[in-house]
């Protein structure tokens, strides 16, 4: 009764498989059209303000401004791919900065040594990751949607930061050692902040695209029930993803302290919107399952380029908010349409 019929006819298949359907795939990539928008913006500003926009100074400025959002955006890409969202990142950044800042104040202040700087960095990262993991654990229970969990986290983290500081940004929160190196330092003309952000982006972009961790992130966003049946520990994975987001918010706090030397308790209330906008502009689906770190890079640079470009050509920069808002809604609309056509097929 056991007649194993294994007549592989793989040749035709593998041939078909090997032909890269380049055109189709290029058209299907969510990043492509956002990249075209970014390129168009750069071309436009370069022509509109010849010799002004496309200077090394402006590029560096754009990159430095974008560096922290990029780091946050990488974490947010993971979260959004799991069909989640994290509204708390700005507050977590502040909380991590305050925790690190308080340590710094009591261990040398602005003149603190390298030992203190290292401990401050560790504190910021640990506080961020722990807060993220906590939120992830609540999300993993599937009793409270991520939107609410992190909305609660937004309020709570900021509140704790304000309690710790009395609501005032403490003086001497960052050591000169930190500011003069990571904050203002450059390597071959490239600011350390930019190098750090690029490194983080590269590493987590590769992790998302090439590893089992990345695949499980996509799978959970795509079909959590199927992932569970396939033996993926969905809850544990969500905790890790939110912890990663928190960790990167902690890193953002370090970068902020290095760059501005203060905790800016009141200055991060719209970080979440900016970062989520960048992630969505980059083609990552708010409904989960699809997205890429590369797209987020592009998505971060669109508002940054707009901002600098509008200043350079002398238009009120507030138009940037209007433009980004419109593009954001359009991006989600297109994503939704694509999903619908797909489900109809």
* Residue number with CB closer to other proteins (201 or 320): 201
Report in angstroms how near the CB of residue 134 gets to other proteins at its nearest.
22
CA distance 20 to 272: 38
Report in angstroms how near the CB of residue 3 gets to other proteins at its nearest.
5
Report in angstroms how near the CB of residue 198 gets to other proteins at its nearest.
20
CA distance 216 to 221: 9
Report in angstroms how near the CB of residue 242 gets to other proteins at its nearest.
19
CA distance 73 to 71: 5
* Residue number with CB closer to other proteins (83 or 195): 83
* Residue number with CB closer to other proteins (13 or 180): 13
CA distance 328 to 184: 32
Cβ atoms of residues 228 and 90 within 8 Å: no
The contact set with other proteins (CB under 8 A) reads: 1-6, 8-10, 12-14, 16-17, 21, 24-25, 142, 207, 210-213, 215, 218-219, 221-232, 289-290, 342-343, 345
Nearest Cα to Cα of residue 301 among 321, 282, 327: 282
* Residue number with CB closer to other proteins (314 or 343): 343
Report in angstroms how near the CB of residue 339 gets to other proteins at its nearest.
9
CA distance 251 to 268: 14
Report in angstroms how near the CB of residue 228 gets to other proteins at its nearest.
8
Residues 6+ apart with CB under 8 A from 20: none
CA distance 198 to 311: 25
Report in angstroms how near the CB of residue 224 gets to other proteins at its nearest.
8
* Residue number with CB closer to other proteins (118 or 230): 230
Cβ atoms of residues 296 and 76 within 8 Å: yes
CA distance 30 to 292: 9
CB atoms within 10 A of CB 48: 15
Q: Of all helices (H) and strands (E), which one includes residue 121? A: helix 114-140
* Residue number with CB closer to other proteins (143 or 189): 143
* Residue number with CB closer to other proteins (213 or 260): 213
Radius of gyration in angstroms for the set of CA atoms belonging to the chain, rounded to a whole number: 22
Q: Return the exposure string of 148-167: e unless at least 16 CB atoms fall within 10 Å of the residue's CB, then b.
A: ebbbebbebbbebbbebbee
* Residue number with CB closer to other proteins (22 or 188): 22
Nearest Cα to Cα of residue 307 among 94, 64, 56, 87: 64
Beta-strand pair 190-191/186-187: antiparallel
* Residue number with CB closer to other proteins (183 or 282): 282
Report in angstroms how near the CB of residue 285 gets to other proteins at its nearest.
8
Cβ atoms of residues 171 and 40 within 8 Å: no
Q: Tell me which DSSP letter residue 295 carries.
A: H
The tokens describing 161, both together, are 């930061």
Report in angstroms how near the CB of residue 342 gets to other proteins at its nearest.
5
């Amino acid at each position: 009764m056991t007649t194993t019929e294994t007549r592989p006819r793989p040749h035709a298949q593998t041939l078909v498989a090997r032909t890269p359907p380049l055109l189709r795939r290029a058209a299907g990539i969510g990043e492509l059209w956002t990249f075209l928008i970014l390129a168009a913006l750069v071309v436009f500003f370069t022509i509109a303000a010849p010799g002004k926009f496309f200077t090394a100074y402006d590029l560096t400025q754009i990159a430095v401004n974008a560096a922290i959002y990029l780091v946050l955006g990488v974490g947010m890409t993971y979260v959004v791919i799991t069909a989640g969202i994290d509204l708390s990142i700005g507050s977590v950044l502040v909380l991590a900065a305050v925790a690190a800042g308080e340590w710094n104040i009591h261990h040398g202040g602005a003149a603190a040594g390298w030992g203190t700087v290292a401990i401050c960095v560790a504190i910021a990262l640990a506080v961020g990751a722990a807060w993220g993991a906590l939120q992830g654990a609540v999300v993993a229970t599937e009793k409270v949607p991520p939107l609410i969990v992190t909305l609660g986290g937004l309020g709570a983290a900021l509140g704790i930061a304000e309690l710790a500081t009395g609501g005032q940004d403490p003086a001497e929160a960052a050591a000169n050692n930190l500011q003069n190196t990571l904050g203002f330092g450059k390597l071959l003309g490239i600011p350390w902040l930019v190098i750090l952000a690029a490194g983080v982006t590269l590493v987590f972009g590769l992790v998302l695209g090439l590893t089992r961790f990345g695949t499980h992130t996509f799978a959970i966003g795509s079909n959590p029930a199927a992932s569970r049946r396939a033996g993926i520990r969905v809850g544990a994975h969500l905790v890790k993803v939110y912890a990663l987001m928190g960790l990167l918010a902690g890193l953002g706090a370090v970068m902020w302290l290095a760059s501005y030397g203060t905790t800016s308790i009141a200055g991060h209330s719209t970080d979440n919107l900016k970062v989520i906008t960048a992630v969505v502009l980059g083609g990552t689906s708010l409904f989960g399952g699809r997205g890429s770190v590369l797209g987020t890079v592009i998505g971060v640079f669109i508002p940054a380029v707009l901002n600098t470009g509008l200043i350079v050509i002398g238009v009120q920069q507030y138009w940037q908010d209007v433009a980004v808002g419109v593009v954001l809604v359009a991006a989600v609309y297109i994503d939704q349409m694509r999903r619908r056509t797909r489900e109809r097929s």
